[in-house]
Amino acid sequence: MKKATVGAVVVGTAAAVAVAALVMRHRMGKSSKWARARAILKEFEEKCATPDAKLKQVADAMTVEMHAGLASEGGSKLKMLISYVDNLPTGDEAGVFYALDLGGTNFRVLRVQLGGKDGGIMHQEFAEASIPPNLMVGTSEALFDYIAAELAKFVDEEGEKFHPPPGKQRELGFTFSFPIMQTSINSGTLIRWTKGFSIDDTVGKDVVAELTKAMQKREIDMRVSALVNDTVGTLAGGRFTDKDVSIAVILGTGTNAAYVERAQAIPKWHGPLPNSGEMVINMEWGNFRSSHLPLTQYDNAMDTDSLNPGEQIFEKICSGMYLGEILRRVLLRMAKEAGIFGEEVPPKLKNSFILRTPEMSAMHHDTSSDLRVVGDKLKDILEISNTSLKTRRLVVELCNIVATRGARLAAAGILGIIKKMGKDTPRESGPEKIVVAMDGGLYEHYTEYSKCLENTLVELLGKEMATSIVFKHANDGSGIGAALLAASNSVYVEDK
C-alpha cells in the first residue's frame, strides 16, 4: 500500500514538474519573442534617426540640388520648373474669375468674385463632375469637349451679376495636374498622362490650345489666363491674404514645394527678365534624394516594389501615400519573426497599402488608457483581434517613429529652401519674416506630424530666427489659387 502511495506521489510530482517546465518554456518563449519585437523596433528607430546635424546636411543637400536644377534642364533630380508666374496676387484684384481643376478622375469648375483692396473673396461657387472611364482612354477632342460642355453648363446657370461687361471675355485659371512642359503663363505641352489616363493624341500638344478649341466650339467666351500647378496655386492663395508668403508646401497623398526666386538667379531662364524681377519655381521636390536621407530596409523594399523604382524617394518617406505602408512592412516583419499577433501571420497584413495613413494617424493620436482606437483599427483593417495593451503600445511607438522621421525631413526640406533664398540668418535690421503657405490632407489632419514639422523648423533655425517663421494653412490652391492667378495675370489688369 505504501509503495503504491509513494509511486503515486512520484508520478504526480513528475507531472507537476513537467507542467511547470512547459509553463516556464512558454513564458521564456514569449519573453524571447517580445525581446525580438523590441530589438526590431530599436533597430528601426536607430535607422530612422534624424538628429539636427543630419537634418542640416539634408537641408544643405536640398540647396545644392536647387542650384543645380536652376542651372540647366536635367542638371538635378529636382526639376526646378519655371512656372512663368512672375505676378502673384496682391490682394487688390477685383472682378469675377474662373478656375478649372483637372487633377484626376474628377474635375471642378469654380467661380470666384474678388472685392478688390480689403474686399477679399466675396463669393465662391463650384460644380464637380467625374470623367467617364471611356473618355480617359479615348481622344483628346472627346475629353476636352466633355470638359467644355460642363463648363458651358456652369456658365449658363450663373446669375446676371456675374456676366462680364461688353467687350470683355471671362478669364480662367486652368489647373492641370499632369506632367507638362510649360512654355508661357498660359501654354504648356503634355509630356505624359498619369492617374489612369491614356490618350495618345494629346501627348506633345498644348493643353490650353486643346481646351480653347473645345470652348470655342461650345461658344464659351472665355480665355485661359494661367496654366497652373496646384503647388504654385497654393503659393498664390497664400500671397493673396499675406504679402510675406514666399514658399508653399503641399503635404498630402504626395508632396511638392514652390517658392519665389529672383529671376537673375535662374541661369537656365533665357527670356527677358520679368518686370517684378521674380519668378515662381515649381520644385517637384518629391524626387529629391541624397545619401543623407535615413533610409531603411523597409523603404528600399517598398521602392523596389513600386511603379517608379528609384524615383520620388523624398516623397516616399514624407508623404501620406506611403507612411501607412512603411508601418505595415515593419509590423509584418514583427509578426513573422516575433509573433506579435500570435502564432500565425495575419493574412491581411500581407496586403500592400492596406494600412492607410489616415488609420495610422488615428492610432497615433489615440489617448485612451487602453488604446481602444488602436485595437479597433487592427481588428477592422487587419482582422487582428484581442491584441494586448503591450502590443498596442508597440504599434503607437512605430507610428511615432515613421511620422517623426517624415515630418522632420519635410522641415529640413523647407530649411533648404530658406537657405537658398538667403533668409536663414538674421539681417542687421532684425529677422526677415518668412511665411510658408501649407496645404494637403497630411498636414491638415495628422496633427502630430504637422506639430513635429513646425517645431523642428523652429529648432533648426535657432532662437534668434524662431520668431520670423510663420506657417499658414492656404486651402484649395488648385481651385481658388488658380482663379487668383487668372486675376493677377488678367489681360484687363491695367483697366482695373
The residues that are catalytic are 177, 192, 230
Q: What is the DSSP letter of 181?
A: E
Helix (H, G, I), strand (E, B) or coil at 297: helix
395, 340 Cβ separation under 8 angstroms? no
- State the Cα–Cα distance between residues 63 and 418, nearest whole angstrom: 9
- State the Cα–Cα distance between residues 238 and 477, nearest whole angstrom: 9
| Strands (E) located in 72-156 | 81-82, 94-102, 106-115, 121-130
Q: Which residues pair with 262 in a beta bridge?
A: 278
3-state secondary structure 108-125: EEEEEEEECCCCCEEEEE
97, 110 Cβ separation under 8 angstroms? no
- State the Cα–Cα distance between residues 186 and 203, nearest whole angstrom: 17
175, 476 Cβ separation under 8 angstroms? no
Q: What is the DSSP letter of 424?
A: S
Conformational region of residue 167, where left means phi above 0, alpha means psi within -120 to 50, and beta covers everything else: left
Q: Which residues pair with 222 in a beta bridge?
A: 170
Q: What is the DSSP letter of 428?
A: T
Give the residue carrying C-alpha cell 491674404.
241
Q: Which residues pair with 188 in a beta bridge?
A: 182
E strand or H helix at 471? strand 469-473
- The set of cell numbers assigned to 99 is 478656375
User: Over the Cα atoms of the chain, what is R_g?
Assistant: 28
Give the residue carrying C-alpha cell 466650339.
217
Helices of type H across 347-388: 357-364, 372-382
